[in-house]
């Protein structure tokens, strides 16, 4: 984990972009502190309730890359803004008006980032005239200060190798820089251009004009990040420890890690189940019940016996971590630290 933090920090420094890691991946303030110590300029989060936990721990520079519109969440957001340096996200006029009214009533000013739709079928304003019109409306609203644009594109696993991922990431950076230029051309003082996920952070960050990248999963990696080609299997640093509880057939073992341990997030590679053994990537978690994980054993793992311990790499690190109370930090086979996953379950 520490090498993953360092690798991203060094690469970003070389590109001249700031790193604002997405801390929803780990939800642990102590880990955010390690990322900040390595040079991160703040963190990204999604939910207000997550940001409350980090602010309680003294981590106050937060970009909430999420549309906050529910009245209770807006109330908490405004209260939190009194003790944290928050930056918020908008992608609609209705959302911006709600945010503006809440900020005005609370007597505060909020920095906002306009989300640009990067074509993944989620949130974001369409680049060009729609984004310009919306940005102008936001700029005219009281108690909001539009400072930048951001977008999220991710990258689906691809058989086309690193060049495909890099081109995809560069296109993300170029789309955001171009959207920022559009807004500047109508007189809006846009200073922030925030891009990137684990697979696209560095290629997007290499585009002149991108100011910040927001990778999250790079911290630990997982089966899907390896499938994206964004990390090597050897760089994965998060494992679910499990015990073989049954050995019903020559090619099948059952472990005490099911959907409540690994999450049931699907694999981005067809036929790869719900995770794999760190010691043997050919051994896959092919069946998942709440408390049972069914391993289809590769040749190297056919010697597994009831009681044996195994390390499983889950498909999606963020969903897996959110299921647990603690992370156990191990260095050179020795337990070094235990962290409470303080913001787990914080979804409001």
Ligand X SMILES: Cc1ncc(COP(=O)(O)O)c(C=O)c1O
Please give the residue ranges that form the binding site for ligand X (CB under 6 A).
22, 44, 65, 152, 154, 197-198, 214-218
Give me the least distance between CB of 26 and ligand X, in Å please: 11
Cα(23)–Cα(41) distance, integer angstroms: 13
Give me the least distance between CB of 113 and ligand X, in Å please: 10
> Which residues in the chain belong to E strands, given as ranges?
18-19, 43-45, 61-67, 85-90, 110-115, 144-150, 192-195, 212-213, 240-249, 252-255, 275-277, 280-288, 293-296, 309-314, 326-331, 334-340
Q: Which is nearer to ligand X, 150 or 301 (CB)?
A: 150
Q: Which is nearer to ligand X, 150 or 239 (CB)?
A: 150
Q: Cβ contacts of residue 285 below 8 Å, gap of 6+?
A: 255, 257, 262, 273, 274, 275, 276, 293, 294, 295, 312
Q: Which is nearer to ligand X, 124 or 293 (CB)?
A: 124
Give me the least distance between CB of 305 and ligand X, in Å please: 36
Q: Which is nearer to ligand X, 168 or 310 (CB)?
A: 168
Give me the least distance between CB of 75 and ligand X, in Å please: 23
Query: What tokens does 127 get?
Result: 């680049």
Query: What tokens does 142 get?
Result: 């009281």
Tokens 């918020």 belong to 88
Give me the least distance between CB of 158 and ligand X, in Å please: 14
Q: Burial code of 326-335, b = ≥16 C-beta within 10 A, e = fewer?
A: ebebeeeeee
Give me the least distance between CB of 202 and ligand X, in Å please: 12
Q: Which is nearer to ligand X, 29 or 216 (CB)?
A: 216
User: Nearest residue to ligand X, using CB?
Assistant: 197
Q: Which is nearer to ligand X, 217 or 267 (CB)?
A: 217
Cα(112)–Cα(64) distance, integer angstroms: 9
The number of residues in the chain equals 348
271 in Cβ contact with 302 (< 8 Å): no
Q: Which is nearer to ligand X, 12 or 242 (CB)?
A: 12
Give me the least distance between CB of 101 and ligand X, in Å please: 24
Q: Which is nearer to ligand X, 20 or 76 (CB)?
A: 20
Cα(115)–Cα(131) distance, integer angstroms: 9
**Whose CA is closest to 30, among 325, 338, 346, 345?**
338
Give me the least distance between CB of 225 and ligand X, in Å please: 7
Write the DSSP assignment of 239-296 as a string of letters: -EEEEEEEEEETTEEEES--HHHH--PPPSSTT-TTEEETTEEEEEEEEE-SS-EEEE
Query: What tokens does 314 get?
Result: 């889950």
Q: Cβ contacts of residue 227 below 8 Å, gap of 6+?
A: 157, 267, 268, 269, 272
Give me the least distance between CB of 182 and ligand X, in Å please: 21
Residue 134: alpha-carbon gap to chain centroid: 26
Q: Which is nearer to ligand X, 168 or 258 (CB)?
A: 168
């Amino acid at each position: 984990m520490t090498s993953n933090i360092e690798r991203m920090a060094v690469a970003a420094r070389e590109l001249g972009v700031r790193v604002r890691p997405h801390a929803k991946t780990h939800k642990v303030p102590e880990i955010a502190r390690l990322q900040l110590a390595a040079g991160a300029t703040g963190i990204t989060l999604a939910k207000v309730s997550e940001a409350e936990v980090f602010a309680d721990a003294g981590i106050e520079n937060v970009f909430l890359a999420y549309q906050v519109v529910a009245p209770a969440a807006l109330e908490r957001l405004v209260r939190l803004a009194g003790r944290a340096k928050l930056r918020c996200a908008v992608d609609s006029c209705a959302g911006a008006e709600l945010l503006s009214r809440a900020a005005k009533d609370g007597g505060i000013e909020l920095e906002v980032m306009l989300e640009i739709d990067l074509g993944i079928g989620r949130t974001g304003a369409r680049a060009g005239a729609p984004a310009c019109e919306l940005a102008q409306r936001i700029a005219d609203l009281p108690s909001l200060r539009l400072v930048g644009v951001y977008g999220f594109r991710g990258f689906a696993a691809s058989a086309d190798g690193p060049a495909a991922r890099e081109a995809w990431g560069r296109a993300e950076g170029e789309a955001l820089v171009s959207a920022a230029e559009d807004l500047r051309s109508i007189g809006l003082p846009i200073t922030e251009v925030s891009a990137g996920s684990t697979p696209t952070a560095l290629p997007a960050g290499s585009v002149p004009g991108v100011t910040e990248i927001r990778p999250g999963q790079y911290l630990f990696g997982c089966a899907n990040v390896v499938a994206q080609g964004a990390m090597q299997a050897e760089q994965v640093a998060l494992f679910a420890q499990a015990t073989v509880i049954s050995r019903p057939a020559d090619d099948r073992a059952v472990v005490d890690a099911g959907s409540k341990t690994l999450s049931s997030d699907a694999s981005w590679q067809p036929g790869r189940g719900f995770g794999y053994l760190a010691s043997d990537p050919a051994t896959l978690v092919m069946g998942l019940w709440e408390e049972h994980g069914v391993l289809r054993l590769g040749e190297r793992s056919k010697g597994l016996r009831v009681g044996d311990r195994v390390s499983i790499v889950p498909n999606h690190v963020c969903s897996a971590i959110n299921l647990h109370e603690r992370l156990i930090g191990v260095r050179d086979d020795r337990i070094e630290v235990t962290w409470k996953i303080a913001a787990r379950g914080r979804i409001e």
